[in-house]
Structure 1
């Protein structure tokens, strides 16, 4: 899926459900979310017995948890039958097609175009900071 298609997909869900909150979207989309100890993993998406499940590490701070949730939600939508793992400090650097798609989905969901338009003098890193996320997320913003 091309970046502009991912952007269009995010716009569809944001418009349909009137939210950019990945936890609220997961509820609407019947994705089960569990938070608990995951060791070095920040999160993962699994398709178990015909159910979409996202597991998030309980040690994540609020913004990191939201980013991981948005990333894993992307997998539940775009890669429904794949099992995908978000490894802290690594997944934003991966180059596989499905990880790039999930990162692009997360960036489009969490960094609205309006935030960029309303802050024309800020760098990409400053926009990410303003939104509460790691600057690397902006590498996936289209």
Structure 2
């Protein structure tokens, strides 16, 4: 009986470890195109390249399993990552605490009840109208 309980415990912990490794992450970035003649005030990691244009990250929302986990803003030294789990929602993040994302067709996405055109897809990244970028399974956001 004890052996069976240990086996069951091992299977449950293995399953939970597997689930935590495969949880879906999505990063939503609201940006602003930067004119190449404008001097950069923020750190290099506050910008995303889109062809020959750079987009300044104005705010980012990192979701894990459709629940807001981190809020990102640009700073002069680097991007600031606010851990929502530890610090709770703020006025800026309250309306975005649950990801509302729906693919309408191959050319449009509905994000927080606003429809956006898909301008370009590059790997796991979608560039939408109104300078919004969606990145599935983003790396290095911890």
In which range does the TM-score fall when normalised by the shorter chain? under 0.3
More helix by share: 1
More strand by share: 2
Q: Which of these two proteins has the greater Rg computed from alpha carbons?
A: 2
TM-score, normalising length: structure 2: 0.26
